Chain A
Amino acid sequence: MNYDKVIVPITVLGSGRVLDQIRLVEITMTINNKYTWYYPYKLGPVSFQDGGPTVSIPLAGIENVLK
């Protein structure tokens, strides 16, 4: 098996009017409740729009365990 990307839509459930700018996106992935990858990404000035962004994460860092 081979998977190379995770796509997760971040939803704010209608609370988008509250949010101004996206500053940081953190992705944490855990396999078997014990192997954890955590990646933080700081952003420049990116305005929050609509219902929320979709995050696309290449599995380069964990592809070995998903083969």
Chain B
Amino acid sequence: MAWLIAFCVGGLVSLAYFYSIKVGIADLGKQHAAAIESGSRPRELGQEEGHETPSPKVDAYIQPGSSNPYPPQTILGGIVWDDKYVDVRLDIGVGAVAIQNLDFEVALDTSIAGIGQISQFAGVTSFPDGRQMPSVSLEGTDDKGKPITVPLVPTQGLAQIAPRYRVHCNALYSNTALHLVIASVALNQATQGRLPEQLFAPKRSPHLIKLKGTFEAASQQFPIEFQRTFDNPESERPTRLPAQTVHTPKPITHVPQPPSENLTTITVEARMTCTIKEGEELPPSTQDIIGGFGTGQLVGSAGTVELSRTNPVEFRKQRNNEMIVVNHFYVANSESLIGTPIF
């Protein structure tokens, strides 16, 4: 009897042992299959510890002390600094993932006179939104009455004032930062379709900066967007980059369009500064011009729009034996161009 009991107990123990071996092998099989599956599947951006998520951080601030004038002829990031400028800094820091073809538009609630780089990356370009500063031509006659055209090319370092600038950077390496300097300038607003007598307003800091564009990483394009309000423009810069700036690891599927705005006015002002011949009688400071005389044109594939003149023509004598002649033009409300969308 004792042998029978020992045989049964031993059998049960053996069965339990074999069952545990079977369950263990099954678990090992499941784990191995899971490991194979995860190893053969391509890793997605941001899937592992966040190291592969392209996450450029954007920061902007008013350079402390820039409310005071910089020394004359200071050149900052290639910009010949003017007393009217306020120094706005824009930093774009890159994490562990390098990025390429960073391309964005930047705007302030003031105007931008220039953007320069104060870091050392090659392949960084900035220009007024659209294209490079236009090359103007001056058409007239020479001293023998023959037609002549003088091409005017942009002067390096001179202000190129525009509401928005575009910046392109070919590549930013991992764990680096692009440092840009923005020359902010305040302009007096046009009123009733006429530019102000003084284009430049008293120096003031901007209160808002907006940035919007794209960059590439791992052969995919990503959006980059940033906005900051300078609550206290004269305050010191923040000690670290804000966390909420940019972190959107989803590739772009479409680019949203800004809301439309209709065209209400176009004004053009041409100022010509000339030296004055000695002994000649100077003209009065203003002279009216007969309506319809010497109108300008806006031309293109869409047709021709007349630019009417606004009286008077101004003659501003300068202290250095120079005179500025100012001509004003505008597009009349009767032109079909007025009222069409501009954005």
Does B associate with A? yes
User: Nearest A residue to B267 by beta-carbon distance?
Assistant: A30
Question: What is the size category of the interface that chain A forms with chain B?
Answer: 35 or more
Report the Cα distance A13→B301, complex, angstroms.
32
- A15 and B283 form a contact (CB under 8 A): yes
* CB contact under 8 A between A19 and B323, given known A43-B152, A49-B141: yes
B137-155 interface bits toward A, Cβ cutoff 8 Å, 1 = contact, 0 = none:
1111111010000101111
- Note all chain A residues with C-beta closer than 8 A to B340: 1
Interface 0/1 of A10-29, CB less than 8 Å to B: 11110101111111111111
Secondary structure at the A interface, as helix, strand, loop or mixed, is strand
Q: Given that A56-B137, A57-B136 are contacting pairs, would A21 and B271 also be in contact in the complex, using a CB cutoff of 8 Å? A: no
**B281-309 contacts to A (CB < 8 Å):** 281-283, 287, 289, 293-302, 305, 307
Which of B187, B298, B301 counts the most chain A CB atoms within 10 A? B298
| A49 neighbours in B (Cβ, 8 Å) | 140-143, 145
Asked if A33 and B189 make an inter-chain contact with CB atoms under 8 angstroms apart, the answer reads: yes
Chain B interface extent, by class: 35 or more
Say if the beta carbon of B275 comes within 8 Å of chain A: yes
Question: Is there an interface contact between B134 and A10, defined as CB atoms closer than 8 Å?
Answer: no
Report if B177 contacts A (CB, 8 A): no
Answer whether A8 and B130 are a contact pair too, CB < 8 Å, given A21-B274, A38-B199.
Answer: no
B contact residues around A58 at 8 Å (CB): 134-136
Q: Is the CB of A61 within 8 A of B299?
A: no
User: Roughly how many angstroms separate A33 CA and B162 CA in the complex, as a whole number?
Assistant: 13
Interface string of B182-220 (1 = CB under 8 A from A): 000001011111010001000000000000000000000
Q: Which chain A positions have C-beta within 8 A of B131? A: 60-61, 63
Contact between B276 and A19, CB atoms less than 8 A apart: yes
| Least CB distance, B197 to chain A, in whole angstroms | 12
The answer to whether B274 touches A27 (Cβ under 8 A) is no
Q: How far is the CB of A35 from chain B (nearest CB, A)?
A: 5
CA–CA, A49 to B138, complex, Å? 12
B96 located at the interface, meaning its Cβ lies under 8 Å from any Cβ of chain A in the complex: no
Within 8 A of A (CB), among B244-284: 261, 263-277, 280-283
| CB proximity of A51 to chain B, nearest CB, Å | 9
Contact A22 B135 (CB under 8 A): no
**Quick check: B297 and A39 within 8 Å, CB to CB?**
no
Inter-chain contact B163/A36, CB cutoff 8 Å: yes
Closest to A48 in B: B274
Q: Which of B136, B190, B275, B343 contacts A55 (CB 8 A)?
A: B136
In the A-B complex, the 4 residue pairs with the closest CB atoms? A3-B300, A53-B140, A38-B161, A8-B296
